[in-house]
Copies of this chain bind each other. A is one copy, B any other.
């Protein structure tokens, strides 16, 4: 039946991370591989209360089919949040509720990408975006990130010599590198892209999870017409509900809505209402503060342990928020090979490979610090440090 399949599906990289997670499921393995929020911080009781309140007051409503755009009350809350936290004015009609941020990427691919169209990505870049856009047979340019953002010279060169349609970025606590774009870097990117009418997709699942430093402006404040925002409740409230959103201008929204209808009619309405009820009855900032404090401590534990246990010549990023940091091993050391040895020593991480479009056996790796407590972070990093020292 092989020849029956579409050309596109053979071009999509299978999720490397999901395969790795299967290896790391053994409970004796300390895993820095996942991208999961810490389950101990889920607001279980508050979500239960919200759910029961809805069953009391709107039992039939919350179970019926609903609108493709998403629940208006929730879109209003999101609009108000942008105003409060970012000073951005967004009309609820420009917000589409999606089945997680991942669906936002798929809908944008459907809406914008013809075969061979180019997308500019960060290097390393978010694996889920590479997968989603690959389905539409796009070409990729990857621009290296450093501590302040992307390489602006390379961006200018690409923009001048190529016709890219989209620029995809996770500007806050980037997945996988953990870095955050500086204000200057953002401003200059907006100037460069604006001249060429390239659309910038700002994916910001971690933006609220800052435990150090100060918030930076959204690209939307520099170029609202050419910026599409992606957001998610997965990292600040609950991931299993699969509730995210897209913000886009009227013309884009009209197309996205067609794509949404064709893709799954509408996002789970029951869970949209639960999130909305939870937000109405609880102080989300208080809840987010708990997450920030926990992740901040775990990040510190990880950095301290890396400094103590990793061999000299290892570099790593210093994230101000989010869930990941990025390690660059001494030249010539393959993270994939390290991974094989690490699993034997009961510690897991994600080798850098899937975050690059056309490179393998890279010497980088992603470490997640949101899911493991400080004590186990120390034990796990010590194990990994031993493996690295043995291999050098």
Binding site for B on A (CB under 8 A): 1-2, 4-9, 12, 14-15, 18, 35-37, 39-40, 42, 44-45, 47-48, 51-52, 55, 59-68, 99-100, 102-103, 106, 110-114, 117, 128, 131-132, 134-136, 165, 197, 199, 234, 238-242, 249, 251-252, 255, 257-259, 261-271
* Assembly CA distance A36 to B68 (angstroms): 14
* Assembly CA distance A113 to B35 (angstroms): 32
Copies per assembly: 2
Determine whether the beta carbon of A4 is less than 8 Å from that of B165: yes
Tell me whether A264 and B100 are in contact in the complex, defined as CB-CB below 8 angstroms, given that A66-B240, A270-B241 are known contacts.
Answer: yes
Residue from B112, B241, B262, B271 within 8 A of A134 (CB atoms): B262
Determine whether the beta carbon of A99 is less than 8 Å from that of B240: no
Residue from B8, B37, B136 within 8 A of A6 (CB atoms): B136
Determine whether the beta carbon of B262 is less than 8 Å from that of A131: yes
| Chain B residues within an 8 Å CB radius of A64 | 36-37, 39, 42, 239-240
Determine whether the beta carbon of B112 is less than 8 Å from that of A265: no
Please give the distance in Å from A83's CB to the nearest CB on chain B: 25
| Chain B residues within an 8 Å CB radius of A59 | 42, 44-45, 48
Q: A42-B60, A240-B269 are in contact. List 9 more A-B contacts (CB 8 A).
A: A1-B249, A4-B112, A6-B112, A36-B64, A100-B265, A135-B262, A242-B265, A268-B268, A270-B271
* Assembly CA distance A42 to B242 (angstroms): 23
Residue from B52, B259, B265 within 8 A of A48 (CB atoms): B52
Determine whether the beta carbon of A268 is less than 8 Å from that of B242: yes
* Assembly CA distance A361 to B68 (angstroms): 27
* Assembly CA distance A2 to B112 (angstroms): 10
Tell me whether A135 and B110 are in contact in the complex, defined as CB-CB below 8 angstroms, given that A36-B64, A63-B239, A271-B268 are known contacts.
Answer: yes
Determine whether the beta carbon of B136 is less than 8 Å from that of A264: no
Determine whether the beta carbon of B5 is less than 8 Å from that of A65: no
Determine whether the beta carbon of B241 is less than 8 Å from that of A106: no
Output the residue of A5, A6, A111, A197 with the most chain B CB within 10 A: A6
Can you name the residue of chain B whose Cβ is closest to the Cβ of A59? Answer: B44
* Assembly CA distance A251 to B5 (angstroms): 10
Determine whether the beta carbon of B263 is less than 8 Å from that of A12: no
Determine whether the beta carbon of A2 is less than 8 Å from that of B239: no
* Assembly CA distance A241 to B265 (angstroms): 12
| Chain B residues within an 8 Å CB radius of A1 | 197, 249, 251-252
* Assembly CA distance A313 to B338 (angstroms): 77
* Assembly CA distance A242 to B267 (angstroms): 7
Please give the distance in Å from A320's CB to the nearest CB on chain B: 24
Can you name the residue of chain B whose Cβ is closest to the Cβ of A8? Answer: B110
Tell me whether A62 and B14 are in contact in the complex, defined as CB-CB below 8 angstroms, given that A48-B52, A259-B9 are known contacts.
Answer: no
| Top 5 A-B pairs, shortest CB-CB distance | A44-B59, A240-B269, A131-B262, A103-B264, A48-B55
Residue from B9, B113, B255 within 8 A of A110 (CB atoms): B9
Can you name the residue of chain B whose Cβ is closest to the Cβ of A239? Answer: B65
Output the residue of A7, A48, A270 with the most chain B CB within 10 A: A270
Output the residue of A65, A110, A264 with the most chain B CB within 10 A: A264
| Chain B residues within an 8 Å CB radius of A259 | 9, 12, 135
| Chain B residues within an 8 Å CB radius of A262 | 12, 102, 106, 128, 131-132, 134-135
Residue from B37, B39, B128, B261 within 8 A of A18 (CB atoms): B261
